[in-house]
Amino acid sequence: MEYRQLGRTGLKVSLLGLGTMTFGEQNTEAEGHAQIDRALDCGVNLLDTSEMYAVPARVETYGATERIIGSWIRRRRGRDRIILATKVAGPGGVLGLDHVRGGDNRLDRRNIMEAIDGSLQRLQTDYVDLYQVHWPARATNFFGRLGYPHTDEPDLTPLEETLEVLGDLVRTGKVRHIGMSNETPWGIHRYLQLAEQRGLPRLMSIQNPYSLLNRSFEVGLAEMAVKEDVGLLAYSPLGFGVLTGKFLDGARPPEARIVRWSRFARYNGELAERATAAYVAIAREHGLNPAQMALAFVNRQRFVTSTLIGATTMEQLETNLASIDVRLLDEVIEAIEAVHRAHPNPCP
Indicate the domain borders of the chain: 3-207
C-alpha span between 227 and 303 (Å, rounded)? 9
Helix, strand or coil, per DSSP, at residue 182 = coil
- Quickly state the pLDDT bin for 144 (edges 50, 70, 90): confident
Q: What's the pLDDT at 267? A: 85
Per-residue pLDDT at 182: 96
CA trace torsion 211, 216, 218, 222 (10° rounding): -100
Residue 114 has what pLDDT?
97
Contact residues for 181 (Cβ-Cβ < 8 A; gap 6+): 87, 132, 133, 134, 135, 206, 207, 208, 233, 235
Q: Does 98 have pLDDT greater than 90?
A: no
In this predicted structure, the answer to whether residue 265 has a pLDDT above a threshold of 90 is no
pLDDT of amino acid 259:
82
Q: Quote the pLDDT of residue 142.
A: 86
Tally the residues of the chain: 348
- β-pair type (12-14, 16-19): unpaired
Question: Looking at residues 170-182, what average pLDDT do you find?
Answer: 98
**What sections of 173-252 are H helices per DSSP?**
185-198, 221-227
What is the average per-residue pLDDT within 30-55?
Answer: 98
Average pLDDT over residues 80-97: 89
* Residue 255 pLDDT class (50, 70, 90 cuts): confident
Tell me: pLDDT of 93 over 80: no
CB contact set of 312 (below 8 Å; sequence gap of 6+)? 22, 26, 27, 255, 257
Query: What is the pTM for the complete model shown?
Result: 0.97
pLDDT confidence of residue 83 = 98
What residues act catalytically?
53
- The answer to whether the CB of 215 falls within 8 A of the CB of 301 is no
pLDDT tens digits, one per residue of 49-61: 999 999 999 999 9
pLDDT at 154 over 90: no
Report domain 3-207's class: alpha beta
Which residue intervals of the chain are DSSP H helices?
A: 29-41, 64-76, 109-123, 159-172, 185-198, 221-227, 257-260, 270-285, 290-299, 314-321, 330-342
The mean pLDDT of 237-247, rounded to a whole number, is: 95
Mean pLDDT of 59-86: 97
Q: Could you tell me which residues are beta bridge partners of residue 207?
A: 181
pLDDT for position 186: 96
d(CA 251, CA 338): 26
φ, ψ dihedrals at 179, nearest 5°: -150, 175
Question: 265 to each of 189, 233, 255, 259, 262, how far by Cα in Å?
Answer: 30, 22, 16, 9, 6
